[in-house]
Chain A
């Protein structure tokens, strides 16, 4: 397994499959009364969060704890970062304290790459700027795999602000690697024209794409983009690219709806749509823990006490 997870582009299809298969065996741990295995006992995992993210941080924290690792949460407020400490000095401090893995969330694209220059610990990208969010992509693939036998030929649309979305980048890379057909949908101002070179198709018309989909993946839209003139009004955005009840009806039977959260109910997804049985939004959250357990386990080389041995 790779030492650092910075981008999905580092992963071969067999690596992705290995993570998902391992996650399968960890998923069961979350259903026990005692939700814990000793796989990473004595190892230290640091959650280094420069951006608020309740969902991802808690998911990583639970994943590490269920593997019996020691977990330290280090976030911007109330820490030395607030006093102006640089990423480099923070990295050297964590290194000196003996961190085995550093899970980093940062608003600057590429900061996990930068971090690897200063630490020996494994670095896991938990979302960097508008670059990538590899663990989100892995948990999304895991969730899709629960419903479809294979990714080959699966038709997935990723809808919304692709330009600024790390989730869109990681998911496109991951799905394309596994043989899915990805279409990026949104206004031209929010779809990079270079996206075909990522391995995706482009469409500016959601209604034309919907009837052929297996998965409709909605992205969060930030209202701030409207002020930056990426689109005229939230109302127009919602009318063209929002997933309302009528559009759900245009989806084939069995097509899934996904969203990485947090949602803007009423903007990119209607409230009642988010709560439909075919919306897998809470499944995504649940699966995130097992996938992150698998990743930590594989990357830190957890020994002997794997889930299967413990499961019985």
Chain B
């Protein structure tokens, strides 16, 4: 019987409304006890002074690249990156090769993840066959297999009729339809956010309105159908306002924002660093401010990484030829803690990075509440430790971090998946 006692940690567990210093005893796969004076008898004791203990983080949006681009990432390396970042569950995006639009691909990804055993990987499936935006995927069959989230991510479902059908049809299975909101004709050949910096740099812009028009349209369709709409990686302040209004009108809708959109903006693109070419693009400083405000007031439900590893040769090229995306699993928590200022409310951070995304995906084992008998899916982090991105090798196969050279605040010390260390003293165990 394995017993671990985490002594004197600040337990942050929004699902049970807890934020206090306590001891946490883990026995085998589960939390055994939580309180002031838990007996250490027979347990390995870990001094957690200065550390926060929370339910393991849950990512709604990561590209693990397998099958198809194993040179950029595999399910195993992506899982390890997740563990290093404090994650115990991640939702893998379906834009693999082949696309995750059949049971076979979904089951293959799940098998690979089980073999790696570092995080729980929940494969998302595409909304439409082959991400073509035309024919619906067999949502019913995939939902029976446990797929909870459907998205054509990287592509936006352009057809209003297809989106309406997806939202309507999916109601029968209570699954989430996640949209990458980007109107195609307004964004042809885009390279960055349209604004002062794009005009100066001579890079073709994608206006914020290209996102907002799809958000507005899909909110209307969600209202019409009653389907569960999720807007992923919201980047524009206009979209935050629309989503906030939609929620106020009682729509079943949720949204996430990435750590890089909370941290960086279009001004940072001035050196043509291809690691800052991301999709959707880094927006203006005002948009970043709106995203932060939305994250705090709940207009934005979750932080999702949009972890997008790329092979070096796909990034070490001219700016407009670089594949968009940044890796994010290993830096997400620190980036969010840094973005929210010197004294971020840890309860809100854990809510947005663990509890709410777990609820959106319907994952009972993740996101808390932490209580006796519950699975010990945990992260312990030092909210004040500063570190510089790039000083240590990434667990991800991708090196393309938008935060390279940035000093961030907040470091993961331990991650546990069902009572087993996947990260110990900041290092992956397996």
* With A86-B313, A114-B272, A197-B196 as contacts: A130 and B202 at CB distance below 8 Å: yes
Contact partner of A109 (CB less than 8 A), chosen from B203, B271, B313, is B203
* With A87-B317, A106-B318, A108-B318 as contacts: A194 and B271 at CB distance below 8 Å: no
Contacting pair A110 B203 (CB below 8 A): yes
Tell me whether B39 is interfacial, beta carbon within 8 Å. Answer: no
Contacting pair B195 A108 (CB below 8 A): no
Tell me whether A148 is interfacial, beta carbon within 8 Å. Answer: no
Tell me whether B201 is interfacial, beta carbon within 8 Å. Answer: yes
* With A113-B272, A114-B272 as contacts: A198 and B317 at CB distance below 8 Å: no
Contacting pair A108 B319 (CB below 8 A): yes
Contacting pair A131 B318 (CB below 8 A): no
Docked complex Cα distance between A166 and B202 (Å): 7
Q: Which residues of the partner chain A approach B29 to less than 8 Å between Cβ atoms? A: none
Contacting pair A128 B202 (CB below 8 A): yes
Docked complex Cα distance between A197 and B196 (Å): 8
Q: List 15 A-B contacts (CB under 8 A).
A: A88-B316, A108-B318, A108-B320, A109-B319, A110-B201, A110-B202, A110-B318, A110-B319, A114-B272, A129-B320, A130-B204, A169-B202, A194-B200, A197-B199, A198-B199
| Most A C-beta atoms less than 10 A away, residue of B271, B272, B274, B321 | B272
Q: Which residues of the partner chain B approach A61 to less than 8 Å between Cβ atoms? A: none
Q: What count of chain B residues pass the 8 Å CB interface test?
A: 19
Tell me the number of A-to-B contacts counted with CB atoms below 8 Å.
Answer: 59
Docked complex Cα distance between A87 and B319 (Å): 11
| Most A C-beta atoms less than 10 A away, residue of B191, B201, B203 | B201
Contacting pair A111 B199 (CB below 8 A): no
| Most A C-beta atoms less than 10 A away, residue of B318, B319, B320 | B318
Q: Which residues of the partner chain A approach B196 to less than 8 Å between Cβ atoms? A: 194, 197
Q: B351 to chain A: closest CB distance in Å? A: 38
Residue interface bits A132-153, CB-to-B below 8 A is 1, else 0: 1000000000000000000000
Query: Which chain B residue lies CB-closest to A193?
Result: B199
Residue interface bits B194-229, CB-to-A below 8 A is 1, else 0: 011001111110000000000000000000000000
Docked complex Cα distance between A65 and B97 (Å): 52
CB contacts under 8 Å to B, within A174-215, are 192, 194-195, 197-198
Q: Which residues of the partner chain B approach A195 to less than 8 Å between Cβ atoms? A: 199
Q: Which residues of the partner chain B approach A132 to less than 8 Å between Cβ atoms? A: 202
Contacting pair B321 A108 (CB below 8 A): yes
Q: Which residues of the partner chain A approach B202 to less than 8 Å between Cβ atoms? A: 109-110, 128-132, 166, 169
Q: A258 to chain B: closest CB distance in Å? A: 21
Residue interface bits B314-336, CB-to-A below 8 A is 1, else 0: 00111111000000000000000
Q: A109-B201, A194-B200 are in contact. List 19 more A-B contacts (CB 8 A).
A: A86-B317, A87-B317, A88-B316, A108-B319, A109-B191, A110-B201, A111-B319, A113-B271, A114-B272, A114-B274, A129-B202, A129-B203, A129-B320, A130-B203, A131-B201, A169-B202, A192-B199, A194-B199, A198-B199
Docked complex Cα distance between A144 and B199 (Å): 26
Docked complex Cα distance between A194 and B199 (Å): 7
Q: Which residues of the partner chain B approach A166 to less than 8 Å between Cβ atoms? A: 202
Q: Which residues of the partner chain A approach B272 to less than 8 Å between Cβ atoms? A: 109-110, 113-114
Contacting pair B319 A114 (CB below 8 A): yes
Q: A184 to chain B: closest CB distance in Å? A: 11
Contacting pair B199 A114 (CB below 8 A): no
Q: Which residues of the partner chain A approach B313 to less than 8 Å between Cβ atoms? A: 86
Q: B399 to chain A: closest CB distance in Å? A: 14
Docked complex Cα distance between A114 and B321 (Å): 12
Query: Which chain B residue lies CB-closest to A88?
Result: B316
Q: Which residues of the partner chain B approach A106 to less than 8 Å between Cβ atoms? A: 318
Docked complex Cα distance between A166 and B317 (Å): 21
Query: Which chain A residue lies CB-closest to B312?
Result: A88
Query: Which chain A residue lies CB-closest to B320?
Result: A108
Query: Which chain A residue lies CB-closest to B321?
Result: A108
Q: Give me the 7 closest cross-chain CB pairs, A-B, nearest first.
A: A131-B202, A110-B272, A108-B318, A130-B202, A192-B199, A109-B202, A194-B199
Docked complex Cα distance between A41 and B313 (Å): 37
Contacting pair B317 A169 (CB below 8 A): no
Q: Which residues of the partner chain B approach A131 to less than 8 Å between Cβ atoms? A: 201-203
Contacting pair A87 B195 (CB below 8 A): no
Docked complex Cα distance between A204 and B201 (Å): 23
Docked complex Cα distance between A300 and B168 (Å): 67
Contacting pair A194 B195 (CB below 8 A): yes
Q: Which residues of the partner chain A approach B318 to less than 8 Å between Cβ atoms? A: 87, 106, 108, 110-111, 114
Residue interface bits A95-109, CB-to-B below 8 A is 1, else 0: 000000000001011
Contacting pair B316 A86 (CB below 8 A): yes
Docked complex Cα distance between A87 and B201 (Å): 20
Contacting pair A169 B200 (CB below 8 A): yes
Q: Which residues of the partner chain B approach A130 to less than 8 Å between Cβ atoms? A: 202-204
Docked complex Cα distance between A8 and B272 (Å): 16
Q: A85 to chain B: closest CB distance in Å? A: 11
Docked complex Cα distance between A106 and B272 (Å): 14
Residue interface bits A72-107, CB-to-B below 8 A is 1, else 0: 000000000000001110000000000000000010
Docked complex Cα distance between A42 and B313 (Å): 34
Residue interface bits B243-271, CB-to-A below 8 A is 1, else 0: 00000000000000000000000000001
* With A109-B202, A130-B202, A195-B199 as contacts: A88 and B320 at CB distance below 8 Å: no
CB contacts under 8 Å to A, within B272-329, are 272, 274, 313, 316-321
Docked complex Cα distance between A208 and B201 (Å): 29
Docked complex Cα distance between A110 and B202 (Å): 8
Q: A175 to chain B: closest CB distance in Å? A: 16
Docked complex Cα distance between A198 and B202 (Å): 12
Q: Which residues of the partner chain B approach A108 to less than 8 Å between Cβ atoms? A: 318-321
